Chain A
Amino acid sequence: MTAAAEPRVVRRETSPVLAFLGRRLLGGLVALFVASILIFAALNVLPGDPASVILGRNATPQAEAVLTKRMQLDRPAAARYADWLGGFLHGDLGLSAVSLAQGQHETVWHQISGPLKNSAILAAIAALFMIPLSIGLGVIGPIYSGKAVDHAISILSLGAIALPEFVTGSLLIGVFFVGLDWLPPVAIVPPGANPLDNPSELVLPVLTLLFASLAAGVRMVRAGMTEVLQTEYVQTARLNGVAERRVLWRYALRNALAPSVQVLAQNLQWLIGGIIITESVFAYPGIGTALVNAVQNRDVTVVQSVAMLIAVVYVLLNLLADLVVMLLVPKLREPA
């Protein structure tokens, strides 16, 4: 038999990475679809006619009839849901319910794009510090296991986990504004301006976010690192005389990181939740403030779109984490 006898078929088998990601993507899409139904149902189908909810004390029968027509609330809920989801998929978030009640035609996107950008900047800066700090502090602990540094990191991170953002924020204001008068207590970003134009106003919000999200990451990396340092291959490497630095960075850290990536992804999601509270403490004009305002104004279309966007970000972060884990752990890249 010669090689020519066997037809040289290009194996069309999908790469395992793509197959894995495909599965995850599909799962994410299903999750988002379910989330969209829940969000829409919670805001539109539950008791309390949206028109009267939006108008509140001003819900005269005339005003209610006008708004019902403007919001097309006379159409069946299923049709309105299909319209909303279809629009969302095309990047059209629809019109703000409150602006409709006022006889205006303000789009939801126009209302939230500015705050969304502000929040993205705040979250990005926090993440920029959070990821290397989580890894750095998490690795240092086990290396100096039982020493003062390790204890200090453990105690601080335990304390930080116990404090919710509004307490951390108030404490930081107490120290850096009331006590030392170094930093402004409120981050007033004019509409359309870049938050980075006034970096001193961003320091306390970023610190608040870091405190709350950093601790869990540090503890997770520390746990992973401790475990890996006790494995046989690390012991063997040490006994073989491999330099300690190489043992730590080349053997231990890489294996300790894989589980930590998932945790870091969760931390980023936690950070998004924390942003809503942090923005309120510092009056920062981001998506959290926009969401709180929309809830208070009962602007159902804004609330459902923001909730959906947050769900999308969650799913994307999970996908990203899966991808990073794949790259870190070679085993996952091979076909089953």
Chain B
Amino acid sequence: MTDRSDDQPNGPDLLDGRFSRGGLLKGAAALGIGMSPLLAAACGGGASASSPVSTSAGAPKRGGQLKLGFVSGGTAETVDPFIGVTPIDEGRIQNLYDPLVIVNPDLTTSPGLALEWNPNSDGTVYEVKLRDGVVFHNGKSFGADDVIYSIQQMAKPANFGSYPFVSGIDVANMKAINKHLVRIPLKTPDGDLAANFTYYNTWIVPARQTDYKSPIGTGPFAFESFTPGQQSVFKRNPNYWVDGKPYVDSLKITSITDPTARLNALVAGQIDGLAQLPFQEAKAHQASGDINVLVAPSPQAMMFYMDTQKAPFSDNRVRQAFRLIADRPALIESAISGFGTVGNDTVGKGLPYYDESLPQRVQDIDKAKSLLKAAGQENLTVEFQTSEIFPGFVESATLFAQQAKAAGVTVKLKQEPANSYYNPSLLYLKMAFAETQWPMLSLKYFYLQALSSNAPYNETHFKSAAFSDALAKAIGALDKTQAQNYWNQVQQIQYDTGGYLQWVNADWVDAVSKNVQGLKPHAAGALGNYLFMNAWLT
């Protein structure tokens, strides 16, 4: 058991008047000293107000090299879209290749390489019309063969990143009707197949590409060099199908594991931008203004989860009581420095089919107590397994344990090693009460993987015939109103009886130096969703 708040040096003691505030904050960051939320607040950082970033500095300028630092994925880093796992993979893949469907900053979608998705009457066969005039980096023109080949690759079970998105497709019977029209038959009805093709694990490679040592794509940047765990250099694709973009001549992405080293490199000008700025550093630099902090509100879910098959959580009254114990605003404020909005236990706020009508759950200790009493679980003691694998996990668990005391519940924290927390042969999917994090691109993406009857990551071990039925109908419905009705049923069941306690929709928090323009906060991913074609240097 650890109390993380004790690990923070006492910020205000550092203020002895000999340093300017900016210098002090820069120094604190460079020395890797986390600031207490108190000091950050005293320095005038707003709660989760996003700072004015990358405001227009005239017309975009061509030229230069954009240098970025990401958390290292080590030698496992890859430019193969179907097996990419970490943000640095995502950053590279999204610049070498293109998606069939583009996600906009507000999470609506636009046509990418696919222009139209036309289903038959029961949503079991789609005809997909493709964009004309797109060429790969080697000059070959893009067409139906490439889409069919890419989906075949995605459907290989070993390609764990892409497989869930295409598991409903009858891969063997896809057909190119002509160069720019593909016929995609499905095994189960799907009302919105396009939504499966936004995530970077489903982006398009040329037919017969097997070698990812020097890959080809249609993306804004073309491959030049790549050493996993160290660095990649991509050069501008002069034939990119979006007019005038990209603006910079080349893109250099460097792996820098240590968060302090990453921030130092940015402050020193050795890189122009970085992904995953620690929350407290973000507060400090918003206040000092020496770099631009990019804050993108997003439905990225951070949650506690309870195994609905294991006592005491097999009793829904206990699960509901726990959901009422949580003081969500306090959790957000202290665990992740306020970078997020309150969660309501049904994921995907802001995404299509999210049910906005469900009342926001707030702390209600009296009701929690009476539920626990009814369940015969007064003076309950539970173990809460947490880990440092994501920033904010241990902090939020610690605070929840304190909040639970008010309801007479003793929460014993157990800190687990990061590398076994998500390992199914060790701890993952075996813990009764633990924490998790999910990026969120569509409701379908999450529910298929976490809550469907054959979900690979069924953390809450939720089983209900009525729920599975409603979920299948929600996915299969072609009519949007009908689909919304089914999705509301799905979410109502989770809201009333589920095992997830989603306390926050967490922001993406990144930083760029003052000379980088054009990168705008984007709900779908870090650093403006890695759309580096939009960036230019002043």
* Chain A residues with a Cβ under 8 A of chain B: 48-49, 52-53, 56-60, 62-63, 66, 96, 98-99, 101-104, 106, 111, 114, 170-171, 173-174, 177-179, 184-186, 188, 190-192, 280-283, 285, 289-290, 292-294, 296-299, 302
Q: How far is the CA of A104 from the CA of B30 in the complex (A)?
A: 38
Binary contact track B84-128/A, C-beta < 8 Å → 1, others 0: 010000000000000000000000000000000000000000000
Q: Which residues of B contact A292 (CB under 8 A)?
A: 257
The answer to whether the Cβ of B275 comes within 8 Å of any Cβ in the partner chain is no
Shortest Cβ gap from A60 to chain B (Å): 6
- With A171-B31, A186-B256 known, 13 other A-B pairs at CB within 8 A are A56-B422, A57-B424, A60-B456, A63-B158, A111-B75, A114-B230, A170-B31, A173-B31, A188-B270, A190-B231, A191-B225, A281-B258, A283-B257
Please determine whether B160 and A98 come into contact, CB atoms closer than 8 angstroms.
no
Shortest Cβ gap from A314 to chain B (Å): 24
Q: How far is the CA of A179 from the CA of B31 in the complex (A)?
A: 11
Q: How far is the CA of A179 from the CA of B23 in the complex (A)?
A: 9
Q: Which residues of A contact B457 (CB under 8 A)?
A: 57
Binary contact track B250-287/A, C-beta < 8 Å → 1, others 0: 00001111101110110110110000000000000000
Please determine whether B30 and A102 come into contact, CB atoms closer than 8 angstroms.
no
Q: Which residues of A contact B520 (CB under 8 A)?
A: none
Please determine whether B75 and A299 come into contact, CB atoms closer than 8 angstroms.
yes
Shortest Cβ gap from A298 to chain B (Å): 6
Q: Which residues of B contact A103 (CB under 8 A)?
A: 83, 158
Please determine whether A53 and B261 come into contact, CB atoms closer than 8 angstroms.
no
**Given known contacts A56-B423, A62-B157, A283-B261, A294 and B75 CB-to-CB distance under 8 angstroms:** yes
Q: Which residue of B lies closest to A290 (CB)?
A: B229
Q: How far is the CA of A96 from the CA of B228 in the complex (A)?
A: 12
Q: How far is the CA of A19 from the CA of B231 in the complex (A)?
A: 49
Please determine whether B270 and A293 come into contact, CB atoms closer than 8 angstroms.
no
Q: Name B270's contact: one of A102, A170, A186 (CB within 8 Å).
A: A186
The answer to whether the Cβ of B11 comes within 8 Å of any Cβ in the partner chain is no
Please determine whether A57 and B419 come into contact, CB atoms closer than 8 angstroms.
no
Q: Which residue of A lies closest to B78 (CB)?
A: A102
Q: How far is the CA of A184 from the CA of B269 in the complex (A)?
A: 9
Q: Which residues of B contact A281 (CB under 8 A)?
A: 258, 260-261
Please determine whether A302 and B425 come into contact, CB atoms closer than 8 angstroms.
no
Shortest Cβ gap from B446 to chain A (Å): 15
Shortest Cβ gap from B303 to chain A (Å): 15
Most A-side CB within 10 Å, residue of B76, B158, B161, B423: B76
Which secondary structure characterizes the binding site on chain B? loop
Q: Which residues of B contact A104 (CB under 8 A)?
A: 212
The answer to whether the Cβ of B80 comes within 8 Å of any Cβ in the partner chain is yes
Q: How far is the CA of A104 from the CA of B215 in the complex (A)?
A: 14
Q: Which residues of A contact B32 (CB under 8 A)?
A: 170
The answer to whether the Cβ of B74 comes within 8 Å of any Cβ in the partner chain is yes
Shortest Cβ gap from B456 to chain A (Å): 6
Q: Name A174's contact: one of B30, B157, B256 (CB within 8 Å).
A: B30
Please determine whether B83 and A102 come into contact, CB atoms closer than 8 angstroms.
yes
Please determine whether A293 and B72 come into contact, CB atoms closer than 8 angstroms.
yes
Shortest Cβ gap from A94 to chain B (Å): 14
Please determine whether B257 and A285 come into contact, CB atoms closer than 8 angstroms.
no
Please determine whether A185 and B419 come into contact, CB atoms closer than 8 angstroms.
no
The answer to whether the Cβ of B445 comes within 8 Å of any Cβ in the partner chain is no
Q: Which residues of B contact A178 (CB under 8 A)?
A: 23, 26-27, 30-31
Q: Which residues of A contact B254 (CB under 8 A)?
A: 188
Residue contacts A-B, CB under 8 angstroms, 21 given: A48-B420, A52-B426, A59-B423, A59-B425, A60-B456, A63-B157, A98-B74, A99-B75, A111-B75, A170-B32, A173-B31, A174-B30, A185-B261, A185-B268, A186-B270, A188-B271, A281-B258, A283-B256, A283-B262, A285-B230, A297-B76
Q: How far is the CA of A222 from the CA of B447 in the complex (A)?
A: 69
Q: Which residues of B contact A49 (CB under 8 A)?
A: 425
Q: Which residue of A lies closest to B212 (CB)?
A: A104
The answer to whether the Cβ of B525 comes within 8 Å of any Cβ in the partner chain is no
The answer to whether the Cβ of B354 comes within 8 Å of any Cβ in the partner chain is no
Q: Which residues of B contact A98 (CB under 8 A)?
A: 74-76
Please determine whether A184 and B160 come into contact, CB atoms closer than 8 angstroms.
no
Please determine whether A185 and B265 come into contact, CB atoms closer than 8 angstroms.
yes
Q: Which residues of A contact B73 (CB under 8 A)?
A: 293, 297
Q: Which residues of A contact B419 (CB under 8 A)?
A: 53, 56, 296, 298
Please determine whether A297 and B262 come into contact, CB atoms closer than 8 angstroms.
no
Interface residues of B in 15-33 (CB under 8 A from A): 23, 26-27, 30-32
Please determine whether B74 and A299 come into contact, CB atoms closer than 8 angstroms.
yes
Q: How far is the CA of A66 from the CA of B160 in the complex (A)?
A: 12
The answer to whether the Cβ of B227 comes within 8 Å of any Cβ in the partner chain is yes
Q: How far is the CA of A56 from the CA of B420 in the complex (A)?
A: 8
Q: How far is the CA of A60 from the CA of B45 in the complex (A)?
A: 44
Interface residues of B in 144-163 (CB under 8 A from A): 157-158, 160-161
Q: Which residues of A contact B160 (CB under 8 A)?
A: 58, 60, 63
Q: Which residues of A contact B428 (CB under 8 A)?
A: 57
Please determine whether A293 and B83 come into contact, CB atoms closer than 8 angstroms.
no
Shortest Cβ gap from B154 to chain A (Å): 14
Q: Which residues of B contact A106 (CB under 8 A)?
A: 75
Shortest Cβ gap from A99 to chain B (Å): 7
Q: Name B265's contact: one of A48, A280, A283 (CB within 8 Å).
A: A283
Q: Which residues of B contact A298 (CB under 8 A)?
A: 419
Please determine whether A293 and B75 come into contact, CB atoms closer than 8 angstroms.
yes
**Given known contacts A186-B265, A281-B258, A281-B261, A66 and B158 CB-to-CB distance under 8 angstroms:** yes
Interface residues of B in 404-430 (CB under 8 A from A): 419-420, 422-426, 428
Shortest Cβ gap from A46 to chain B (Å): 12
Q: Which residues of B contact A170 (CB under 8 A)?
A: 30-32, 260
Q: Name B264's contact: one of A101, A185, A280, A290 (CB within 8 Å).
A: A185
**Given known contacts A60-B456, A170-B31, A186-B265, A296 and B256 CB-to-CB distance under 8 angstroms:** no
